[in-house]
Structure formats: C-alpha cells, structure tokens
Homo-oligomer: A and B are copies of this chain.
Amino acid sequence: MKTKDRIIETALRLFNEEGEPNVTTNHIADEMDISPGNLYYHFRSKDDIIWQIFLNYEKKINQVLNQKDVNYTSMEDMWFYLHMVFEVIAEYRFLYRNLIQLMNRIEFLKRHFRHILALKSQTALDIMTNLSELGSLKTDKQTIASLADQIALTATFWLNYSIAIYDDDFDEEKKLSHGIFHVMRMVAPFLTDHDRDILDQLSTQYL
C-alpha cells in the first residue's frame, strides 16, 4: 500500500475518531510512524488531505444515489437503500460533524456537498413518488415533498443528533439502525396496512 493512500486512510480514521479540528498533521504522521515532512511531500496542505478524502466520499455516495437500475418498490428495498446511504455517511462522518465549518473553509467542498445534498433530497422524492404511484404510499403531493425534505435533513444530521443526546459509548451500529428506523417511522403513517406490517417486521429484526 502506497504511503499516499495510507495517509488518506489514517487521516480518515483519526478525523472520525477525534474530530477533524482536533487532529493535526503531526498526529497523522505520528500515528503512521512517518515524519511530518514526508506527509507534506504527498499533500500540499491539511485541507488537501481533506479534499482527497471528500472525493472518495463523493464517489461512493454518488454510486449509491445514482443506482437508476434499481426500482425501489418494496419495503425491503427501501430499508436496504437507507442502510447504504447511512453507511456511507457513517464512514465519512467527520464531514458531517463539522459540516458548516468545512464548507466555509473549503469553497469547492461547499459546492460539491450542496450538490450531493440536493441529489439526496431529489432521490428521496423520486422514491416516495414511485411508492405513491404504486399505491404503497397514501398521501398528497405536498406531504410527499415535505417527507422527502425531512428524510434528507434526518439523514444529514442523525449522527450528530445521536451524539448530542446519547452517551458517548453508545454503539455506532445501533446509532445507524436507529436512524434508519427513525426515517421509516416518519413514512409509516402513510403506508398501506400491508406495507406497514412488513415495516414493523423489519424493525423488530434490526433493533
């Protein structure tokens, strides 16, 4: 494994564990047993490292959001889809933890992240609309739009909310499942009895 990739990997891990503002370039180098000078041979700045990590994140999340071949018609599909989204978010959670600050500091990141958020919102809307047309979702267009917004907001800040309200040693996996469960409960009231039953089953299975 190349040093450059190891830096990316180590930085991501430390950022997630300690929070990006608390991790210096020296920490990263220390953790890898290389010199700070070596680190700066591979990256021109700390923000450059963050930017490279972001590009990896962007690639992964776009893969998930652009799976146009899959039609989300069942509750299982929905659950699986949400799981994929939340998983990518969790893998790059340091971005979400200091979102506003990072966006202010790195102009490119701001633009790209906004684009991703818009895409998330749109994808949620597409899925909801699809479910509505299939008869699984019983409600008007305005409520569907509102739900899609709400889902995007929740996906974006669920981890922060979890950290804010729960004890710190709260299990990461459980936080994810809770987030998905939370989103599902937002949608549940508008489902047909049949689909809601399936959802309840899935819930007991995962919680």
Q: Provide the A148-171 mask, 1 if CB < 8 A to any CB of B, else 0.
A: 011001101110110111000000
Residues of B within 8 A of A154 (CB): 150, 153
A182 part of interface (Cβ distance < 8 Å): yes
A189 part of interface (Cβ distance < 8 Å): yes
Q: Closest chain B residue to A97 by CB distance?
A: B100
Other 19 A-B pairs with CB < 8 A, given A143-B188, A146-B185, A149-B182: A21-B21, A21-B101, A97-B101, A99-B164, A100-B160, A100-B164, A114-B165, A117-B165, A143-B185, A143-B189, A146-B188, A150-B182, A153-B153, A153-B157, A153-B158, A156-B161, A156-B164, A157-B157, A189-B189
Q: Is the CB of B101 within 8 A of A164?
A: no
Consensus secondary structure, chain A interface: helix
Question: How many of A's residues come within 8 Å of B, CB to CB?
Answer: 36
Complex formed: what's the CA distance from A165 to B122 in Å? 13
CB of A164 to closest CB in B, whole Å: 6
Q: Which of B22, B117, B139, B186 contacts A164 (CB 8 A)?
A: B117
Complex formed: what's the CA distance from A97 to B143 in Å? 28
Q: Provide the A125-146 mask, 1 if CB < 8 A to any CB of B, else 0.
A: 0000000000000010011001
Q: Is the CB of B160 within 8 A of A99?
A: yes
Copies of this chain, count: 2
A113 part of interface (Cβ distance < 8 Å): yes
Q: Provide the A165-189 mask, 1 if CB < 8 A to any CB of B, else 0.
A: 1000000000000000010011011
Complex formed: what's the CA distance from A165 to B185 in Å? 25
A64 part of interface (Cβ distance < 8 Å): no
Known contacts A154-B153, A161-B156; is A100 also within 8 Å of B19 by CB? yes
Q: Is the CB of B182 within 8 A of A146?
A: yes
